[in-house]
Amino acid sequence: MYPTVPPRVEYALTELGASLGRVTHLLGDWTVKHKDEILAAREQFDERQAAAPAPL
């Protein structure tokens, strides 16, 4: 915190937080790379759910 008006604060990630950021970045890259496959799998699931008989 800095002694200013209005108060000002700076935040930074720890190395532990930065390491998690690297993991989530990789997950995001994977998601973009497999987007078409993910969307196709969702559509197939939705179609199976729509064709399934209703529970009694």
Apex 33 CA angle, 27 and 39, nearest 5: 95
Q: Which helix (H) or strand (E) holds 50?
A: helix 35-51
Query: Which residues, 6 or more positions from 21, have their beta carbon under 8 angstroms from its beta carbon?
Result: 13
Q: What is the pLDDT of residues 29-51, one digit of tens each?
A: 999 999 999 999 999 999 998 88
Q: Is the pLDDT of residue 1 over 80?
A: no
* Residue 18: both structure tokens together: 């930065």
34: DSSP letter: T
Query: Which residues, 6 or more positions from 2, have their beta carbon under 8 angstroms from its beta carbon?
Result: 8, 9, 10
Mean pLDDT of the chain: 92
- CA 25 – CA 13 distance, rounded (Å): 15
